[in-house]
Chains A and B, each alone.
Chain A
Amino acid sequence: MAIFIFKRVIGIPVTLFILSLMIFSLVLFLSPSERVAVFVSSSDALQSASLEELIERYGLDQPFYVQYGNWVKELLRGNLGWSSSARMPISEALALRIPATIELLFAGQVILLFGGIYLGTLAAEKENRFTDHCIRLLTIVGGAIPEFLVGLFLLILFYVTFDLLPPGRLGMLSTDIVNAPAFVKYTGLHLVDSLLNGQPHVFMDAFSHLILPSMAYSLGGLAATVRLMRSSLLDNLSRGYVPTARLKGLSNRQVMTRHVRRNAMLPVITFMGMRIPVLLSGSVIVETIFNFPGMGMFIVTAAQGLDFPAIIAASLAVSVIIIISNLIVDILYTVLNPQIRLDISR
């Protein structure tokens, strides 16, 4: 297991290097004066020195690899540039935004996994009966409605009509608690920090603000996981280990939960890994609709304000989020599938 994780982690710097090269090459589309903003760490720095000085300092008239080197150097020092749209250093902005998107991504994956397992099992158990048909219809429709329509619909239904589940990431009360100096920000994730700080109300508040956006953007994927889970369950139910398990004396339910479901989950986990980029794209839309201040909204604001340094840093941040969440999904997969685990670590 440890060997597997080690081998998997080793490849990450290479991927990261290629991606950072690709992302930095975006600056080639920018003029040197636009490019300067990618390097400086505050708005004052832009004013205090002349453009020529800055171009000189960061080697912007030098070959590409020199510029890339300088950029990476600044990156490693924690300087991602100055965001004109957020009016703060990008590193600080990201520290606020990334946890929000991670919470959303996590919530979305939880819906994909548990919704897929639950509804998929239901559909498989009632194969070709009424419940199964209902679920199938739901998944066809759910898979065809775009995220922003689902989002708008949920917003109209739960907020406008019933005045439940408001947009945003936290209510006003909780925001004050979180921003108070006494509240220690261990991770930036409200769900985690609130518990560590002993603030269950903040936890509930953060949780309730996650419900609508995560539902809105995981619905399309949920349709797929339900279908996957259903067919995978039916496939596993016809495998040879099922009669063995039944002869042991397990009830049908126990055969399902202890033996079949665990094996049937594997394709769903694979799908969750493939879904990560789709969910992140979707976060752009749902964060905008629900006014949820995460990376998606950050990217939109940066794009509207032609805030190039923020766009470039955000691309990098999104890459890192994808790489790490892929790693987590891979680890989950190997925990569930001893076959892979042993083959790779051998």
Chain B
Amino acid sequence: MEKNQPLLTVSNLTVSFKNKGRNVNAVNNLSLSMEKGEVLGLAGESGSGKTVTAMALAGLLADSKHTSVKGDIFFNGTPLPTIPNTNRFKSQRISMIFQDPLQSLNPAFTVGRQIQEVFMVRKKMTKRRARALSLDLLRQVKISSPESVAPQYPHQLSGGMCQRIMIAIALAGEPELLIADEPTTALDVTIQAQILQLLRQLHHTTKTPILLITHDLGIIAQFCHSLAIMLEGNIIEKGRVKDIFAGPLHPYTRGLLDSIPILGRKDRLKAMAPPRHSVNPVRGCSFHGRCPRKKKICEVKQPELREQEPGHFVRCFTPGGLS
């Protein structure tokens, strides 16, 4: 294996949902890559396709009657199937945690059992061995008395606790990529900070790459190495966090950064103007209807993602406002 081969390469990922004859393109020809050991932030307004992208990467969306998933995903140099494949999960090294931890756990089983299950399914371990390992994991996610938490049911635990259980379940799969889809949005502010701190520590000790989806630019500033911004099913800007924060190249990103008075405010990213619904792929730049720097060409031609500065990509005809 090459040393500097990227961890993840996505090219031309397109996901569309067929609903009553209508096609909704949630992700549109998206390309993305991620380095080993990196924390990549993924931001963008509601409905821009962040969750759908993450689910497709994790293999939770497969080509079927109602869903179409097209494109190539390479993980550690090997292609991941986009066709339905339930066998892939057993050996899959991509774990995912979700926005609502309570909903993500099965209400009928103790949390200990839900962690154990990973070892028992993936490694065919005995219950006793799996139990011991799951208690270790609970300690790893900073639960001080694992023996008393393991026999609890999800609804007996707080949201923060449940998210830590979800992280433990994710870690049990020994992930080489952890996808966290708004892991703190559903939690109290104080708990949010704790969960984030936990993720940071885990990243620090294990160097597990994390794809962190969030609306919170403050979190990105504190935690992520690089950042990708999504708009209407595609990435419009990508680069190192400090580069983007210092000089956003896309007018949408510029607007986003301008609209944060204080870092770390937690409301969702609102569209600066109402987004068009991406029912039909539009001609031209997907932002032209709302763009203050719009030119003639923007309405007819879609800009490519170009490397404007080293490591800083943008999809715009007038990057940074210079033409």
A touches B in complex, CB < 8 A = yes
Which residues of A does B touch, CB under 8 Å?
239-241, 243-252, 254, 259, 262-263, 336-339, 342
Determine the distance from Cα of A256 to Cα of B86 in the docked complex, in whole angstroms. 13
Are B96 and A249 in touch, CB under 8 angstroms?
no
Q: How many A-B residue pairs have CB under 8 A?
A: 76
Contact of B259 with A by CB under 8 A:
no
Q: Per-position contact with A for B99-110: 1 when CB-CB < 8 Å, else 0? A: 010011111101
**Alpha-carbon gap, A40 to B108, bound state (A):** 53
Q: Are A246 and B105 in contact (CB under 8 A)?
A: no
Question: Please, how many angstroms separate the alpha-carbon atoms of A259 and B110 in the complex?
Answer: 12
* A248 to B90 Cα, complex, angstroms: 7
Apart from A254-B121, A338-B110, A338-B153, list 17 A-B contacts with CB within 8 A. A241-B104, A241-B107, A244-B98, A244-B114, A246-B86, A247-B173, A248-B117, A248-B118, A248-B122, A248-B169, A249-B118, A251-B86, A252-B86, A263-B107, A338-B107, A338-B108, A339-B107
Contact between B108 and A249, CB atoms less than 8 A apart: no
User: What residues of chain B have their CB less than 8 Å away from a CB belonging to chain A?
Assistant: 55, 58, 60, 86-87, 89-92, 95-96, 98, 100, 103-108, 110, 114, 117-118, 121-122, 153, 155-156, 166, 169, 173
* A and B contact pairs by CB, cutoff 8 A, 22 listed: A240-B103, A241-B106, A243-B58, A243-B60, A243-B98, A244-B105, A245-B106, A247-B60, A247-B89, A247-B96, A248-B117, A248-B121, A248-B122, A248-B169, A248-B173, A250-B121, A337-B108, A338-B107, A338-B108, A338-B155, A339-B153, A339-B155
Task: Tell me which residues across on chain A come within 8 A of B166, comparing CB atoms.
Answer: 244
Q: 3 nearest interchain CB pairs?
A: A240-B103, A249-B90, A241-B106
CB atoms of A243 and B96 under 8 A apart: yes
* Cross-interface CB contact of A240 among B86, B100, B108, B153, cutoff 8 Å: B100
| Contact indicator B108/A263 (Cβ below 8 Å) | yes
Tell me whether B121 and A249 are in contact (CB under 8 A): yes
Chain A positions within 8 Å of B155 at CB level: 338-339, 342
Residues of A within 8 A of B153 (CB): 338-339, 342
Taken together as a complex, chains A and B put the C-alpha atoms of A243 and B122 apart, in Å, by: 16
CA A245 – CA B89 in complex, angstroms? 10
Which residue on chain A has the smallest CB distance to residue B95? A247
Partner of A248 from B55, B89, B98, B110 at Cβ < 8 Å:
B89
